[in-house]
Amino acid sequence: MSKLRLRGFEIHKSYLSRAGQRDLIDALRPVLKAAPLFSPTIPGGSKMSVRMTSAGAFGWYADTEGYRYVAQHPRGMGWPEIPSSILAIWHDLTGLERQPDCCLINYYGEGARMGLHQDKDEADFSYPVVSVSLGDDGLLRVGGKNRSGKTDSVWLSSGDVVVMAGEARLAYHGVDRIRFKSSRLLPKGGRLNLTLRVVT
Ligand code: SIN
Ligand code: MN
């Protein structure tokens, strides 16, 4: 395990052991069964290449009307609970009593990417966002508070955890590409990213 900082993004390399990563995948299996992945269509009409779902009281959602948190999966049921092994990462790295009320689960299949964006649909930006990477390597790009500013990139591997707090909390970030099948954690390949957020 080692820690590095990039533009205020705190990157805990190899935070999770291989066994810890496998345990998280096991904990996520019933979550994905109860709340299947879907691909939102974003304002402007294009479909995201990333497939997603959530756990917790709220799930992040997008459609042609905009971006927001909602209390139900698009198929109408509530979101499953956030597994305790995922909450443990939040408590360990943030030291906060308060629990996150959303765990957004993003799945990147071959060719999927996520454009530069800010996480700004939450009510209180004093709470950090904690991001857990599992499976294939992903190239994270990080910038500052302006979309057109300078950016830096770093490869995230399975088991890495990033904390976005302070100057990084509202910084632009995105995932340019993944190295499909670079990891054997997920039998069919791809990358899972979990982001823990306090929404209200
Ligand atoms: C996100 O910004 O929601 C995802 C970041 C990542 O996939 O590493
Ligand atoms: Mn984000």
Name the domain count of the chain. 1
Domain coverage including residue 139: 2-197
pLDDT at residue 56, as a whole number: 98
Question: E strands within the chain?
Answer: 2-6, 9-13, 51-55, 59-63, 66-70, 102-108, 114-117, 129-135, 138-142, 152-156, 161-164, 173-178, 191-197
Mean pLDDT (whole number) for 47-64: 97
| pLDDT tens sequence across 149-166 | 999 999 999 999 999 999
The enclosing domain of 121 has a CATH number of 2.60.120.590
pLDDT at residue 11, as a whole number: 98
Task: For 82-129, write each residue's pLDDT tens digit.
Answer: 999 999 999 999 999 999 999 999 999 999 999 999 999 999 999 999
Q: Report CA(162)–ligand 1 centroid distance (Å).
A: 10
Protein residue whose Cα sits closest to atom 6 of ligand 1: 193
Q: What is the mean pLDDT of the chain?
A: 97
Q: How far is the CA of 82 from the centre of ligand 2 (A)?
A: 18
Residues around the ion ligand 2 (C-beta < 5 A)? 119
| Best residue among 10, 49, 60, 114 to mutate for probing ligand 1, ranked by most atoms within 8 Å of CB | 114
* Arithmetic mean of pLDDT, 69-80: 98
